[in-house]
Structure 1
Amino acid sequence: MKTHLWSLIDAHLAEHPDAVAFIEGERAITHAEFDLLCRRTVAWLDAQGIGKGDRVGVWLVNRVEWLALFFALARVGATLVSVNTRYRSEEVSYLIEKSGARLLVLQLGFRKIDFAGILDAMDPASLPALQAIAVVDASPATPARLLGRPVVPFDLHMREPVQGLDESDPTACAILFTTSGTTKGPKLVMHPQRTLVDHAWRCAHAYGMDADGAVMLAMLPFCGVFGLNGVLAAFAGGAPVVLVDTFDGPQAARLLADHRVTHTFGSDEMYRRILDTAPADRPFPAARLFGFGAFTSSFSEYAHEACARGIPLAGLYGSSEVLALFSCQPMTLPVQARIEGGGLPVARGDATVRIRDVQTGALLPAGQSGEIEIGAPSLFLGYDHDQDATAEAVRPDGFFRTGDLGHLRADGTFVYESRMGDAIRLGGFLVNPVEIEAVLKRFDGVADAQVVAVEIDGQTRVVAFLILTDGARLAETDVMAQMRAQVAPFKVPTRVWFVDAYPVTLSSNGVKTQRNKLRDLALARLAEPVAAAGA
């Protein structure tokens, strides 16, 4: 199997060049038109002096030009540096400086994002490698210089498309994704064309995106693996991809229905917003697989309700290091098992998931929780310019240490439970906070629950933050009494606080609850008097 990105284009040009590849608003883009767009983009890059070994930051919302830049950069041997449009001055500056990007491609105006203002807040001297800034949709009003660098228009209509074959190295780094790090900024995850293309073919076949009538809605940003892997899989399978520049629940619900979408992937919060605006019964009759990543802890009951309405939800697992859509729970499983994160690896027998005891280091059998380790064709090349972090993350036998807690099932699937950093050692046992949260959320009047660990009098204890349903009132003492009757003493929260919302972060892959900020809030409140009731 060919492992160049361009092989995805060539496969469709040979069979159905006039078939629709992407739908952007009212515009349908065929495979032949996308090939032409990518070839013009290669010519544009050549004119900017971008070639083998160079790095280019792409700071755009979802649009077909993002994908054209990715294919074109890979063809000339350069690396795309994916920049989240939610990033602001410090984050963008860190990423451009750390990656050594020579060129930054952006659009100056998009809704409420002030790209020019963000650039103005950056220190030009901190970006020695950056030589120019390219602007998509440039106009006569576009500044001649930004960040002290010349501005060049992304003027593809002026370029003659390059011809010839793709002779790039499919094993060289083609893209840098960001992932959380232990320092002030994220680590940069390197992936070559080889892992991305192989994974795209496997996902297309395993998830049915190569089947007749398949259509995908791309809800997630391309700057993250969750968004990019999904669109590449659909493109590999020949399923038309409906593009949305940024996610909006009502708009997504309309597009799912209007385009008879069969496949989409998103976060639990995205599905919540979609289903809140969708008709009650079987709103999306064409749906075949709606995969989701659970980034908040309150989606289980909602997922059950969605499945009862005919929504084919299935839990996913993935990461920047092993790629998104790495696994998916089989649709043949009972609903409760199907909506858990994890599943069956898309690489089937070419991938191995194992569980290691975090205390003894021993490999564990099915049913016992430990750290998830993965060996698979989709593994990353390493962290850019960070050999120590790479060596810490990858075991000597090549397995990636995910930092996630989970367990194997007897049927060959696996279950993701939580991040290892979220797991809490209580009473000598390693406890997943989701276990405690699930009990709390069964209480009358509780809409959502989050549990974090803090040190109290030299010992680790759990505290809880609850969001109540409208009109509900609960006392902290009542909640704790109910917990004492239902769980082991070491799982009973020492304190319970009532809040209106949780702190969240808007990552490239979805909305995630910030447990670290909840811990900080808990520490700040521990000196306060016990609240008598919630409101």
Structure 2
Amino acid sequence: MTTPEALSYSSGTSQTPLLGDTIGDNLARTVARYGDRDALVDVPSGRRWTYRELDAAVDELARGLLGRGIAAGDRVGIWSPNCAEWTLLQYATAKVGAVLVNVNPAYRSHELAYVVKQSGMRMLVSAIAHKTSDYRGMVEEVRGDCPELGEVVYIGEGSWQDLVGAGSSVGPEALAARMAGLGADDPINIQYTSGTTGFPKGATLSHHNILNNGMFVGELVGYTEADRVCLPVPFYHCFGMVMGNLAATSHGACMVIPAPSFDPAATLKAVEAERCTSLYGVPTMFIAELGLADFGSYDLSSLRTGIMAGSPCPVEVMKRVIAEMHMSEVAICYGMTETSPVSTMTRVDDDLARRTETVGRVMPHLEVKVVDPVTGRTVPRREPGELCTRGYSVMLGYWEQADKTAEAIDAARWMHTGDLATMDDAGYLSIVGRIKDMVIRGGENVYPREIEEFLYTHPAIADVQVIGVPDAKYGEELMAWVVMKPGHDPLTAEGVREFCSGQLAHYKIPRYVHVVDGFPMTVTGKIRKVEMRAQAVEILGLQDAAGVRHA
């Protein structure tokens, strides 16, 4: 019989209480304490704000929203790469109680139309264009089919100034009255998850969800008013707007925007110029920064911490970030949009092994458990199962999709992540894959993450992803997609087999190797293994095997 102590369950105790206020009230307290300190730096435009100036700009925009008739609970969309206006709107909508709808900058017109309609969006604030995206053209294409969308505002054009100016007839007392009527449990944000099948679902988050999660992320990396946080990660995702912006503003730290979208050189230039103490990124971002030909010329000595998250963090990359980027206190965070987002996190005083081989332990005021995906029972420590989270961070639900909400959150309010994890005796968690990614080869359960971590130690491999592909004999076989380091010849399957021989069990050695320049991924840096599998069937000519049914 398994004793309770040996089960994969952990809860986060804390001497720091949860915040019970709204985002607007929390910002007001920060402004009162740190009004003259830097709050926001938009490096591309050269603009900067102190906390007092930021609050004044947010209030001006918030009164503009009131002047345009935006009511508490109305949905206001933002469709733009990172810029100062994104941040201003984030806090202005929070102050008036509007629900900010984050629209993925990579969306095209049919996806835009879906989220506008599904959220019931009244106003959309949009960039004009970015890279290959003609936002104005796509808005005009769908607007006729979206009758609820009453107003579109374009950043950098007169319509933005008109929105700001609409507040000239709205006094500060009207904004104060609106703020006084808001509650911490009100919905304040809809983030559409980048689902691999079907239309995305709108994870609906409250002030309480995201303010507390941002605050505790900042607490665990030791933020104070002296910190300057470089944010190359997208604001439209929790990584940018919660772990970045809200972690900073809840501690009086400064938010630094290095570029509209990720640019490795611009990121390191911003760190150097603004003397940033913290840098965020998904692993592929850190790999790109470390891979710059002139990486050694940047002065990164101001860095002490940062966050690597969004997808599994390769051990070898983490070690280089600590050693070569001066980020001795860098943390790994794990979570999902539906949990605001962070559920587990490494700590500053964790040893190197825990900060490179685990995703940390449960966050304060949250619970985690690892369960058998079939029975739902909590599994013993060190056994793999589905990771579940419960507590203040769990979303209110998917916007107007009660059926989808019930599939993700069970009757006891546990959020089921779909991730496979193990918990060690000290409560540290390791993600071993997605339930959907687990490969069953000839009856053996194979977790691609384990093989990827081993292949990262190959001297010629810069990045690697392992997937399962159809096989007539074994049901599934393993295929490694490999990005080579500069100056190395492409690896062959035989070369990978020789490297793995004697190190991995035979059934864990990839049968196929495919050398690529990069992986298909979402804008947040999550690898799209579903797309990789579909491509692999074509590349390897496995259509017949894909049609074979297995018990």
TM-score tier, shorter chain, comes to 0.7 to 0.9
Residue in structure 1 matching 2:39, options 17, 21, 39: 21
- Measure the CA separation in 1 of the matches of 2:483 and 2:84: 40
Match of residue 142 from structure 1: none
Match of residue 68 from structure 1: 88
Q: Give the CA deviation at 1:400.
A: 0.7
- Cα contact 2:65–2:167 (8 A) shared by 1: no
Provide Cα deviations, 1:201-246, integer angstroms capped at 9, x if missing partner. 3233222112x52211122121100101121111110011112332
Local SS of the residue matching 1:84? coil
Match of residue 37 from structure 1: 57
Local SS of the residue matching 1:264? strand
* Gap change, CA 1:477 and 1:68, over 3 Å in 2: closer
- Measure the CA separation in 1 of the matches of 2:130 and 2:297: 35
Match of residue 218 from structure 1: 231
Q: Is 1:5 aligned to residue 23 of structure 2?
A: yes
- Cα contact 1:451–1:463 (8 A) shared by 2: yes
- Measure the CA separation in 2 of the matches of 1:520 and 1:127: 34
* Gap change, CA 1:474 and 1:205, over 3 Å in 2: closer
Q: How does 1:301-316 map to 2 (within 5 A)?
A: 301-309=316-324, 310-312=326-328, 313-316=330-333
Residue in structure 1 matching 2:156, options 137, 142, 146: 137
- Cα contact 1:294–1:315 (8 A) shared by 2: no
Match of residue 399 from structure 2: 384
Q: Is 1:293 aligned to residue 309 of structure 2?
A: yes
Match of residue 403 from structure 1: 418
Query: More strand by proportion, 1 or 2?
Result: 1
- Measure the CA separation in 1 of the matches of 2:481 and 2:246: 39
Match of residue 270 from structure 1: 285
- Measure the CA separation in 1 of the matches of 2:200 and 2:220: 31
Local SS of the residue matching 2:121? coil
Match of residue 147 from structure 2: 128
Q: Give the CA deviation at 1:397.
A: 1.2
- Measure the CA separation in 2 of the matches of 1:466 and 1:202: 36
Local SS of the residue matching 1:497? strand
- Measure the CA separation in 1 of the matches of 2:417 and 2:253: 31
Local SS of the residue matching 2:341? strand
TM-score normalized with structure 2 length: 0.85
Query: More helix by proportion, 1 or 2?
Result: 2
Q: Is 1:460 aligned to residue 479 of structure 2?
A: no
Q: Give the CA deviation at 1:157.
A: 4.4
- Cα contact 1:136–1:154 (8 A) shared by 2: no
Match of residue 116 from structure 1: 136
Residue in structure 1 matching 2:251, options 237, 247, 256: 237
- Measure the CA separation in 1 of the matches of 2:83 and 2:360: 31
Q: Give the CA deviation at 1:116.
A: 1.9
Residue in structure 1 matching 2:367, options 346, 352, 356: 352
- Cα contact 2:316–2:456 (8 A) shared by 1: no
* Gap change, CA 1:293 and 1:362, over 3 Å in 2: same
Local SS of the residue matching 1:417? strand
* Gap change, CA 1:475 and 1:345, over 3 Å in 2: closer
Residue in structure 2 matching 1:499, options 478, 490, 515: 515
Instruction: For CA contacts below 8 A with separation 6 or more, give which structure has more relative contact order.
Output: 2
Residue in structure 1 matching 2:223, options 201, 209, 212: 209
- Measure the CA separation in 2 of the matches of 1:9 and 1:479: 53
Q: Give the CA deviation at 1:192.
A: 1.0
Q: Give the CA deviation at 1:110.
A: 4.3
Q: Give the CA deviation at 1:58.
A: 1.0
* Gap change, CA 1:208 and 1:162, over 3 Å in 2: farther
RMSD: 2.6
* Gap change, CA 1:527 and 1:110, over 3 Å in 2: closer
Local SS of the residue matching 2:100? strand
Residue in structure 1 matching 2:213, options 184, 194, 199: 199
- Measure the CA separation in 1 of the matches of 2:490 and 2:234: 39
Provide Cα deviations, 1:368-418, integer angstroms capped at 9, x if missing partner. 211111112111100111111111111221111111111112223222232
Q: Give the CA deviation at 1:31.
A: 1.9
Q: Give the CA deviation at 1:284.
A: 2.3
* Gap change, CA 1:429 and 1:445, over 3 Å in 2: same
Provide Cα deviations, 1:169-219, integer angstroms capped at 9, x if missing partner. 321211100113364321100001121222233233222112x52211122
Gaps of 5+ in 1: 140-150, 529-535
Gaps of 5+ in 2: 1-18, 543-551
* Gap change, CA 1:477 and 1:248, over 3 Å in 2: closer
Residue in structure 2 matching 1:159, options 167, 174, 190: 167
Match of residue 328 from structure 1: 345
- Measure the CA separation in 1 of the matches of 2:514 and 2:434: 24
- Measure the CA separation in 1 of the matches of 2:58 and 2:495: 62
* Gap change, CA 1:467 and 1:382, over 3 Å in 2: same
TM-score normalized with structure 1 length: 0.88
Residue in structure 2 matching 1:190, options 204, 212, 224: 204
Aligned length: 510
- Cα contact 2:66–2:167 (8 A) shared by 1: no
Local SS of the residue matching 1:49? coil
Q: Give the CA deviation at 1:128.
A: 2.6
